Amino acid sequence: MANIVLNTKTYSGNGVVNGIASYTERSAGVAGGFSPLTMSVSLPSGDKAKSRAHVKIGMPIVATEASECACPGATLRRADADLNVRMDPTLSLAERTDFALRLKDLVASSEFQAMLISLQQPAG
C-alpha cells in the first residue's frame, strides 16, 4: 500500500479492512494528534444502483505544551471532511475522468479555498 502525501504531510497506509483503505499521518507524535484518512469504493449490484466513492479525513490539533487549559497531547480543535460521491453505473471512462477532473479543479478553485480558509461565502 503506497503512502499518500497531502500538503507535505505523509499518510502511511494501514491496510484494507472490509473494503476500506485506511491511512494515518503521525507527525504530531501523539495518538490524539494523528490525522486519519479512509477511502473506499462500492460497486453497484443492480442496474440502477450507483457506484459510490467515500473519503473521510480528520485533522486534530493537539496541545504541544502544558497550559492551564490543556496537557500536551490533548485535542484542542478538529477539522473533518466527509466526501461521498455517487456515480451512475453507465458513466463511461471518459465521463468519470471528466467528473474527477472537475472535482480536482473545484477543490483547487479560489472560491472553494476561500470557503475553508476565510470562511467566505462564494459570490455565486
- Closest by Cα among 50, 43, 74 to 61: 74
**Grid cell listed for 115:** 470557503
Radius of gyration of the chain (CA): 18
43 has a pLDDT exceeding 90: no
- 69-112 per-position pLDDT tens digit: 788 778 889 999 999 999 998 899 999 999 999 999 999 999 99
Task: Report how far residue 6's alpha carbon sits from residue 43's, in angstroms, rounded to the nearest whole number.
Answer: 26
Please give the average per-residue pLDDT across 42-47, as a whole number: 79
Side chain identity at 15, as an amino acid letter?
A: G
Spatial distance between the Cα atoms of 58 and 35, rounded to a whole number of angstroms: 5
Residue 49's pLDDT is 81
Query: What was the pLDDT predicted at 116?
Result: 94
Residue 91 has what pLDDT? Answer: 92
Residue 124 pLDDT > 80: no
Of 26, 1, 21, residue with least CA distance to 11:
26
* pLDDT mean over 7-34: 95
Closest to 99 measured CA to CA, from 58, 57, 51: 51
pTM of the model: 0.85
In this predicted model, what pLDDT tens digit does every residue of 57-74 receive, in sequence order? Answer: 999 999 887 888 788 778
Provide the percentage of residues in the chain whose pLDDT is more than 70: 99
